[in-house]
């Protein structure tokens, strides 16, 4: 693939600064194409924990860069823009979590990585959409509080092999939760040969229609390995770029015009150039919070991958 002038400038700056560029699967195509790694939240966290680069330019939403800052305090983690929040992460604060914990004494808290460092710091273990079921299966408790995504909590409750009660937080992602059964059914009727692959942040009625439920990188693996040629994709549209690039000849459809995460789309090539040239915007976490949050993230990373 031929890089544009701005992309060439980014590659030059990355080399000069001994930096790597990480991008989430929902990022704009031109950002994904120039990044060193494009992955889901778990994959990006693992890459951040293993890199020997001095600078990490994180193209994703705020909690993702913050997770890298929790794991890599000695590295400079840069978020090219600050106006890239996640509505799901914003649905819980440390104060609200502490109040709920007081009502549930002794109940461990499983926290989706889509959360702030301050919330992770008050949690027992983190999880992502790729490992939520495995994380819950690794626990010995009979009851857990799972925050902040109620759809992921309900999905995990249905699929855990443990006899465990999962208490869900009332939070959701507006992008995924907004996908409706009617929209999916309409697409399934129009494309009966297509498989429907969904993210666990979708609501349970939509997940009931899915042929596979996966994290974003899990979806990429699924469509690549499947002999089927057509797929309806129940997650943010940005992922279709990688799906099409990696699977020429296969067809991918987005079932709703609303499957767009606006904050994920804000970062531009100019923002990345400015981030690398001016060392902005550095994401840091106060040490007392970072150490506590790291414990929850490390417990998650210790759960074996499939
Ligand atoms: P993944 O970890 O599956 O990439 O999901 C992150 C996310 O924000 C989904 O909306
Ligand atoms: Fe957050 Fe939803 Fe955007 Fe994912 S798609 S980053 S959960 S707002």
Mutate to test the pocket of ligand 2, among 176, 198, 262 (most ligand atoms within 8 A of CB): 176
CB 152 within 8 A of CB 128: no
114 Cβ below 6 A of ligand 1: yes
pLDDT value at residue 254: 98
> Is the pLDDT assigned to residue 306 strictly greater than 70?
no
Q: CA 80 to CA 78: how far, in whole Å?
A: 6
Is residue 133 a contact partner of residue 158, using CB atoms and an 8 Å limit? no
- Where helices occur in the chain by DSSP H, the ranges are 5-16, 29-34, 41-50, 62-71, 94-103, 117-121, 132-137, 150-159, 174-177, 181-190, 204-207, 216-225, 239-246, 269-278, 287-301
Domains and CATH numbers, the chain: 5-84+264-284 (3.40.50.10800), 89-172+288-301 (3.40.50.10800), 179-257 (3.40.50.10800)
238-283 pLDDT, tens digit per residue, is: 999 999 999 999 999 999 999 999 999 999 999 999 999 999 999 9
Q: How far is the CA of 200 from the centre of ligand 1 (A)?
A: 9
pLDDT per position as a tens digit, 46-89: 899 899 999 999 999 999 999 999 999 999 999 999 999 999 99
Residue 209 has pLDDT above 90, yes or no: yes
- Centroid of ligand 2 to alpha carbon of 86 (angstroms): 5
Q: Which ligand is nearest to the CA of 61?
A: 2
Query: Is the CB of 201 inside a 6 Å radius of any atom of ligand 1?
Result: yes
Which residue's CA lies nearest to atom 3 of ligand 1? 215
Tokens, residue 129:
């959409």
Give SS3 for 93: coil
The ligand with the least distance to the CA atom of 40 is: 1
**How many angstroms does the Cα of residue 259 sit away from the middle of ligand 1?**
13
User: What's the rounded Cα separation, in Å, for the pair 234 and 152?
Assistant: 14
80 near 272, Cβ under 8 Å?
Answer: yes
Q: Ligand 1 centre from 16 Cα, in Å?
A: 31
- Residue 27 Cβ contacting ligand 1 at under 6 Å: no
pLDDT bin (cut points 50, 70, 90) of residue 304 is: confident
d(CA 244, CA 169): 35
Ligand having the closest approach to the CA of 38:
1
Residues with Cβ within 8 Å of 71's Cβ and at least 6 positions away in sequence, in order, are 45, 48, 49, 294, 297
Mutate to test the pocket of ligand 1, among 26, 237, 265 (most ligand atoms within 8 A of CB): 26
The pick from 48, 179, 216, 260 for probing ligand 1's pocket by mutation, whose C-beta has the most ligand atoms within 8 angstroms, reads 216
Whether residue 86 has its Cβ less than 6 Å from ligand 2: yes
Testing ligand 1's pocket by substitution, the residue of 215, 220, 221 carrying the most ligand atoms inside 8 A of its CB is 215
Residue-wise pLDDT for 150-173, tens only, equals 999 999 999 999 999 999 999 999
Identify the residue whose C-alpha is closest to ligand 1 atom 8: 114
Nearest to 233 by CA among 248, 220, 245: 220
- What is residue 42's predicted lDDT score, i.e. its pLDDT? 82
Q: How many other C-beta atoms lie within 10 A of the C-beta of residue 2? A: 6
Q: What are the tens digits of pLDDT across the range 120-137?
A: 999 999 999 999 999 999
Per-residue pLDDT tens over the stretch 174-193: 999 999 999 999 999 999 99
Q: Is the CB of 64 under 6 A from ligand 2?
A: no
């Amino acid at each position: 693939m031929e890089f544009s002038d701005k992309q060439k400038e980014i590659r030059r700056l990355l080399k000069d600064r001994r930096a790597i560029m990480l991008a989430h699967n929902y990022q704009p195509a031109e950002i994904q194409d120039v990044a060193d790694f494009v992955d889901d939240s778990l994959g990006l966290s693992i890459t951040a924990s293993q890199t020997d680069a001095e600078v990490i330019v994180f193209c994703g939403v705020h909690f993702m860069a913050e997770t890298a800052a929790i794991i890599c305090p000695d590295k400079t983690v840069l978020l090219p823009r600050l106006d890239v929040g996640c509505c799901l992460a914003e649905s819980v604060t440390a104060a609200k979590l502490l109040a709920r914990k007081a009502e549930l004494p002794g109940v461990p808290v499983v926290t989706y990585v889509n959360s702030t460092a301050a919330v992770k710091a008050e949690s027992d273990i983190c999880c992502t959409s790729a490992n939520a079921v495995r994380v819950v299966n690794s626990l010995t408790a009979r009851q857990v509080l799972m925050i902040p995504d109620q759809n992921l909590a309900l999905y995990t409750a249905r699929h855990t092999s443990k006899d465990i009660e999962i208490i869900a937080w009332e939070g959701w992602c507006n992008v995924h939760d907004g996908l409706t059964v009617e929209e999916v059914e309409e697409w399934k009727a129009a494309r009966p040969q297509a498989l429907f692959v969904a993210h666990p942040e979708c609501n349970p009625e939509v997940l009931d229609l899915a042929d596979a439920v996966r994290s974003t990188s899990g979806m990429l693996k699924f469509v690549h390995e499947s002999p089927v040629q057509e797929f309806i994709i129940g997650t943010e549209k940005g992922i279709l770029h990688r799906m099409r690039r990696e699977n020429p000849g296969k067809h991918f459809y987005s079932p709703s015009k609303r499957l767009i995460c606006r904050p994920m789309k804000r970062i531009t090539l100019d923002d990345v150039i400015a981030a690398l040239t001016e060392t902005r915007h550095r994401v840091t976490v106060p040490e007392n919070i970072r150490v506590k949050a790291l414990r929850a993230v490390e417990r998650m990373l210790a759960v074996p991958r499939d």
